[in-house]
């Protein structure tokens, strides 16, 4: 199989798998236990927390472990918004129309609970305007959430500039606004330094960077107002109840450490493969056009619309040839639902439902790219015919 869907999930890194195995066997203790195997489990969680903090340039006390990116995003948005409203700071939230559904649906949930949410648009390349963001800030704004890199088209957002706009607004009006970013697609491709990004909260998902499914990370800057989403015991410094997934947490720490090493070299190699794939497609397939920014983007993400077909058909055809990609649209009850990201970018609906995402990984080779270029033109032509 030629696997080009790393934005959906990545293979479990062998080192991460080896790190988690003992905690699926003899080291099965509950970290809350006061006996030896409980203390051993707690030490393993603490060690992973220190690894993650080092990778992010954060304090260990600012790192929470969750069940994945979705929980981290939900917890950040709801936890901060609830805490700020409870403190009387306001009930206005800013986000964008191109967030992952975990962010958009959480924002809609906040609206049902009485919050007012502003959804910012983007330009045709999928980039959010810093000026429009700054103009959306209000005296009752308590939280903003803008993703670092888009999962569908790979466009990187100006998070550091947005953070600067938030700080300027807060300083001028003595009104605090918290900033969260969904950075799920970033590890391995972008340097993640909390001081440089300037965010108050950041969400990650382990299986996007070589870790196991069912484990995630939420960074919460020290002194960030937060009301826990899950009630129960006092785990994760009273911020996330529930017995810790020790094996997943240990593997997550190892996987992020690996993903955070050699980022520039990895990104350069994979970007060259992405460019070869893009140029090969555009040269061999008529009426094909890339979506999203082609410069300021994740080095592993290529989203292409193919005129005259529907993406699900092409994805299925490539799958039969041993090539795994993903569709930019979802089919439900025989009705096409185009990508909300592409629609927000102004992509015509006929091209939005004809988009395919190729997302490369550290294991992608020249032979993989050639395999796609060898079969893609004929498959597109056959579907169009």
Residues belonging to the active site: 331
Cα-Cα-Cα-Cα dihedral sign, residues 59, 241, 77, 212: positive
As beta bridge partners, residue 61 has none
| Contact in structure between 44 and 20 (CB atoms under 8 Å) | no
Mention every residue, 6+ apart, whose C-beta is less than 8 A from residue 195: 57
Whole-number Å distance between alpha carbons of 263 and 269: 10
* Nearest in space to 44 (alpha carbons), one of 209, 251, 256, 257: 251
DSSP H or E stretch at residue 290: strand 288-291
* Nearest in space to 185 (alpha carbons), one of 106, 292, 312: 292
* Count of CB atoms situated within 10 Å of the CB of 258: 20
Whole-number Å distance between alpha carbons of 65 and 301: 27
Whole-number Å distance between alpha carbons of 92 and 196: 26
CA distances from 53 to 65, 185, 190, 213, 228 (A): 11, 18, 16, 20, 20
Distance in Å from the first CA to the final CA of the chain: 26
Whole-number Å distance between alpha carbons of 339 and 366: 29
Mention every residue, 6+ apart, whose C-beta is less than 8 A from residue 335: none
* Nearest in space to 148 (alpha carbons), one of 301, 252, 270, 9: 301
Q: Which two tokens stand for residue 327?
A: 């569709």
Cα-Cα-Cα-Cα dihedral sign, residues 122, 289, 295, 70: positive
DSSP H or E stretch at residue 2: strand 2-3
Mention every residue, 6+ apart, whose C-beta is less than 8 A from residue 266: 188, 189, 362
* Count of CB atoms situated within 10 Å of the CB of 16: 29
């Amino acid at each position: 199989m030629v696997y080009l869907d790393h934005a959906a999930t990545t293979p479990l890194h062998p080192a991460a798998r080896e790190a988690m195995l003992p905690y699926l066997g003899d080291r099965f203790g509950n970290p809350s236990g006061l006996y030896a195997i409980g203390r051993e489990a707690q030490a393993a969680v603490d060690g992973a927390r220190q690894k993650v903090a080092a990778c992010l340039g954060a304090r260990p006390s600012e790192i929470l472990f969750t069940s994945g990116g979705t929980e981290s995003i939900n917890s950040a948005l709801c936890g901060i918004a609830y805490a700020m409203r409870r403190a009387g700071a306001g009930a206005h939230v800013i986000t964008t129309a191109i967030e992952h559904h975990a962010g958009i649906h959480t924002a809609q949930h906040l609206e049902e609970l009485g919050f007012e949410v502003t959804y910012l648009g983007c330009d045709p390349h999928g980039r959010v305007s810093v000026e429009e963001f700054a103009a959306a800030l209000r005296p009752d704004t308590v939280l903003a959430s803008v993703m670092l890199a888009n999962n569908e088209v790979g466009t990187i957002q100006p998070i550091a500039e947005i953070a600067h706009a938030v700080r300027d607004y807060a300083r001028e009006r003595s009104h605090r606004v918290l900033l969260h970013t969904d950075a799920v697609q970033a590890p391995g491709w972008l340097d993640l330094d909390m001081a440089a990004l300037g965010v108050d909260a950041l969400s990650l998902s382990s299986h996007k960077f070589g870790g196991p499914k069912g484990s995630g990370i939420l960074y919460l800057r020290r002194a960030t107002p937060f009301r826990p989403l899950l009630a129960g015991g006092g785990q994760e410094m009273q911020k996330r109840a529930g017995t810790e997934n020790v094996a997943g947490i240990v593997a997550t720490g190892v996987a992020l450490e690996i993903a955070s090493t050699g980022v520039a070299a990895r990104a350069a190699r994979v970007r060259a493969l992405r460019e070869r794939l893009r140029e090969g497609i555009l040269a061999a397939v008529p009426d094909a056009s890339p979506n999203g920014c082609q410069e300021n983007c994740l080095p592993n993400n290529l989203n292409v619309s193919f005129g005259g077909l529907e993406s699900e058909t092409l994805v299925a055809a490539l799958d039969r040839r041993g090539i795994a990609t993903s569709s930019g649209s979802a089919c439900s009850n025989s009705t096409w639902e185009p990508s909300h990201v592409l629609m927000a970018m102004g992509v015509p609906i006929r091209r939005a439902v004809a988009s395919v995402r190729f997302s490369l990984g550290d294991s992608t080779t020249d032979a993989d790219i050639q395999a796609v270029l060898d079969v893609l033109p004929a498959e597109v032509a056959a579907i169009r015919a």
